[in-house]
Amino acid sequence: MDLSKYPLEKLFFFVAGIIPGFVALLIFQLAAPGSLGWFFSLGFLGYKTKLSAILLAAFIVGNSLTTFLSSLLGGAGGFYGAILAQRPYQPPHTRPTAPWRDATWRVALRRRLGAQTPNDTTPLAEGIFNIRRETIQFMPDAERLAALANLNRERLGAEIDDANWAQWYDHYHRIVLTRRDKWDVQRYVMHGLRFNLETAALYTLVSVLFVPSLRHWWCILPASMWVAILVAEQWDGLRRFRDQWTTITEQIEYLSEEGSSQNPTEE
């Protein structure tokens, strides 16, 4: 990540935390009318001091809510990843099609890795392997054993190469899914605003169950829309993580970027 943009991300994300904080304070006031009246009646505090205190409270409460929601989503993602890990292991070479066999992607990876690039082979299809093995049976006895050994060695080598390509693809698949080095200021701002609005909406919908004064369509409908956006974003993220084909174009662009690091271990 570009370190020059890192503070912007934190700044906009945390400042926007005032939004769910204000919503939470407002709902608290609706749930217990007059509960904050004592604070506003304090005569020795000026309006600027009171406003600053409200902003600080909203900031603390809002960022606590966004932190909780982020942890909750992260835990859900980890749980989903654990479920995927429980699936029976499928060796890469057994897949009839795979994104790491794409010729354009392999060229881009070869430019990035150089000498570390795996051999450009593809696994032998089971039908082709059987045909070649049956053909060897018609060879003279003196040549048959050597030919079978070479065929098995070729098959094993191609499977190892395919597994190496698959590992590199998974490596850059995860990088592409989490990279933010190309985000501009506008995208950082939109990300911070969107997630905090989604947090406020989710808090509102949960509060509807306990605060009758929130049970109005003009309150529930906007909150439901933002929560639906949150659910759609999380589902899309899980879908992209599960389906490796979704990042092949982004990987090619990433691997082809000029000035990118040539040492993959540093990424």
Name the H helices within 93-181: 103-113, 126-136, 141-178
> Is residue 170 scored above 80 in pLDDT?
yes
Nearest to 63, CA basis, from 6, 22, 113, 91: 22
In a domain, 99, yes or no: no
Distance CA 117, CA 105 (A): 12
In a domain, 83, yes or no: yes
In a domain, 23, yes or no: yes
**Which of the two residues, 190 and 230, has the higher pLDDT score?**
230
Domain that holds residue 239: 6-89+179-266
pTM for the complete prediction?
A: 0.78
Q: Give me the pLDDT at residue 181, please.
A: 76
Q: Give me the pLDDT at residue 267, please.
A: 58
Burial of 262 by CB count in 10 Å (0-12 exposed, 13-18 middle, 19+ buried)? exposed
In a domain, 67, yes or no: yes
Distance CA 55, CA 124 (A): 65
In a domain, 72, yes or no: yes
Q: Give me the pLDDT at residue 9, please.
A: 60
In a domain, 117, yes or no: no
Domains in the chain: how many in total?
Answer: 1
In a domain, 156, yes or no: no
Distance CA 6, CA 145 (A): 62
In a domain, 210, yes or no: yes
